[in-house]
Amino acid sequence: MKHRYILFCLSPFFYFNCSQAQDINKFKLNVVGREYEYYETQPTTPAKGLVILLPALGEKPKSIFKKTTLPKLITANGYITIALEIAPQMFADEDCVKELNELIKIKRDQYKLTYKDIAIGGLSDGGAIALCFAEFLNSKEQPVKLKAVFAIDPPADLTRIYASAEKEISYRCPLIAREGKSTKAYLDNIMGGSPATNPRAYIQRSAYFAKAPDGGNAQFLKYVPVRLYSEPDLEYVRKTYCPELQYSNLNAFDLDKMIVFLKSIGNERSEYITTKGKGFHSWNIIDAGDCAKWITEL
């Protein structure tokens, strides 16, 4: 879906601190023969931690600083904030993991941080990558626990995404039908087939796998503070994009199930926050002040 951004009011929690201007510095990161850009704001006091923000498909990392006050609020309260360029995909592959690991290594050394000082989050595909990265770290023989992970309307279950794309192709709405064809073609290519022909790829690369009793990779989030956000506005997407769209076409369909799963395995610090009238599939879904408070007070 296309993104819709709306101006919003600041939460009073951080209003005083964020009144100061902050410089946004641009840097380059070279990983596996590829160059990535990232943008960073630094606190005026010794850094308490690091928050990495990942963009949605087609979104420029620097634009995040304009679309939400979250970076400003976090930085004003002592955290380095980085918006990082990532590959346009729905999961964290080997190259993406290497990129994030390299960035974190640099910043850990630079600011004398530990993994427990680092939080990561993102919008849409960026949110899915944030979840996948946190899961990867905790799936290791010696798990690495981040401070927190959050995702705004991420495509969590790629099997559901594939099924949704197949449905969209049949809808009598050209824009949505084209999107369905594009998504299906992307998954067929990157996964080496459909969920029926290559289920292993979908299990391995999804942040959450609803058909598995263990939740797939989501099982590795048991001990990590997690926040999931969405605005499940079916009325809006039907009116704006296509009247045939169903709830199962929305990413919220995965998140409803994923949060129940995380609670069931004992993650008492997992939350699913839904909104209404704040902006379907956008950074505006989060209450920036509340999210900043959650991260900094953990």
Q: What is the CATH number of the domain that holds 136?
A: 3.40.50.1820
Q: Please report whether residue 196 resides in a domain.
A: no
pLDDT (mean) for 25-39? 95
In a domain, 1, yes or no: no
Residue 67 lies in a domain: yes
pLDDT above 50 (res 12): no
Where is 122: in which H helix or E strand? strand 118-123
State how far the Cα of 87 lies from the Cα of 248, in Å rounded to an integer: 26
Residue 275 makes CB contacts below 8 A (sequence gap 6+) with 229, 230, 231, 285
Q: Is residue 166 part of a domain?
A: no
Q: Which amino acid is located at 194 in the chain? A: S
pTM for the model stands at 0.92
Q: What is the pLDDT of residues 44-66, one digit of tens each?
A: 999 999 999 999 999 999 999 99
Domain count, the chain: 1
Q: For residue 132, which phi and psi values (nearest 5 degrees)?
A: -60, -40
pLDDT of residue 3: 35
In a domain, 179, yes or no: no
Q: Where are the beta strands (DSSP E) in 184-298?
A: 226-230, 270-274
Q: What is the pLDDT of residue 176?
A: 97
Structural domain boundaries enclosing 236: 24-157+208-297
**250-283 confidence digits (pLDDT tens):** 999 999 999 999 999 999 999 999 999 998 899 9
> For the segment 147-184, what is each residue's pLDDT rounded down to a tens digit?
999 999 999 999 999 999 999 999 999 999 999 999 99
